[in-house]
């Protein structure tokens, strides 16, 4: 078992820079960025000396639990993708956390973010879930993120609807590729809520096979600038808006004739 501790980091610093123990501990106190990716780490141990950390890279390890980060009130970026984490927990002390990477773990529910009111980006794609299960969202965490989260990556999580995410009023980029989203009407409903949305990626979802899929989304969302990796031109949107208005006028005229 490889346990991540300040002593382990200090020894690494001493070995690399030939510094004494006292000098290495001073370095730990001043350190703002720490990269310990792909080190076979199983457990996050005691790191309290690193209280000035702002960016912590722990991806590509074997970590099973988020723990012992209570000291890290200054951290803004936390990279924990490709580990063995099953629950989002013990993050409440990270009051300044802005970017969180958790892709490629074993998380079944987005939870434990009730106090993450500064979080701007959440990357939680490609969770290793039991067959037939999909990623769930805890309403309390979503409410806490409603006024801050602008980037959300939930690709490849067997998700079949986006209704729960409608509360994310600041969302500007949604990446939800390779899921099971299929209902065009439900998609149009949430698009009405996302008034800041600029980019959306739904490649690999059944909904893309619906008639006039792209046309309907472009008309529905006036702020969207890119859909499935393809830019939306002003001319395209204006043409579709004119088409929609013309169609509505014909229907109105037909109703009058029927009466």
pLDDT tens-place string over residues 25-62: 788 888 999 999 999 999 999 888 888 999 999 999 99
pTM of the predicted model, to two decimals? 0.89
Model confidence pLDDT, tens digit, residues 200-248: 999 999 999 999 999 999 999 999 999 999 999 988 888 787 876 666 5
Q: Is the pLDDT of residue 16 over 80?
A: no
95/118 Cα distance (integer angstroms): 7
Class of domain 35-258: alpha beta
For tokens 């980091």, name the residue. Answer: 9
In the chain, where are the structural domains located? 35-258
1-5, 100-104, 121-125, range with the lowest pLDDT: 1-5
Model confidence pLDDT, tens digit, residues 122-146: 999 999 999 999 999 999 999 999 9
């Amino acid at each position: 078992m490889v346990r991540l501790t300040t002593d382990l980091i200090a020894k690494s610093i001493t070995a690399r820079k030939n510094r004494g123990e006292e000098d290495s501990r001073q370095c730990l106190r001043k350190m703002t960025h720490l990269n310990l990716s792909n080190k076979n780490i199983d457990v996050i141990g005691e790191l309290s000396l690193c209280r000035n950390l702002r960016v912590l890279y722990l991806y590509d390890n074997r970590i099973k639990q988020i723990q012992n980060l209570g000291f890290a009130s200054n951290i803004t970026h936390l990279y924990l993708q490709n580990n063995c984490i099953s629950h989002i927990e013990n993050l409440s002390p990270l009051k300044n956390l802005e970017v969180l990477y958790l892709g490629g773990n074993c998380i079944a529910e987005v939870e434990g973010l009730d106090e993450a009111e500064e979080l701007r980006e959440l990357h939680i794609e490609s969770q290793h879930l039991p067959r037939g299960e999909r990623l769930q969202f805890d309403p309390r965490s979503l409410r806490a993120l409603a006024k801050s989260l602008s980037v959300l990556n939930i690709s490849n999580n067997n998700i079949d609807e986006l209704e729960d995410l409608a509360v994310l009023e600041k969302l500007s980029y949604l990446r939800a590729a390779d899921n099971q989203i299929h209902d065009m009407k439900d998609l149009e409903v949430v698009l009405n809520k996302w008034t800041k949305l600029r980019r959306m990626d739904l490649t690999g979802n059944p909904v893309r096979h619906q008639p006039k899929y792209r046309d309907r989304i472009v008309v529905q969302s006036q702020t969207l600038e890119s859909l499935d990796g393809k830019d939306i031109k002003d001319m395209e949107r204006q043409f579709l808006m004119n088409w929609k208005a013309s169609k509505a006028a014909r229907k109105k005229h037909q109703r009058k004739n029927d009466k």
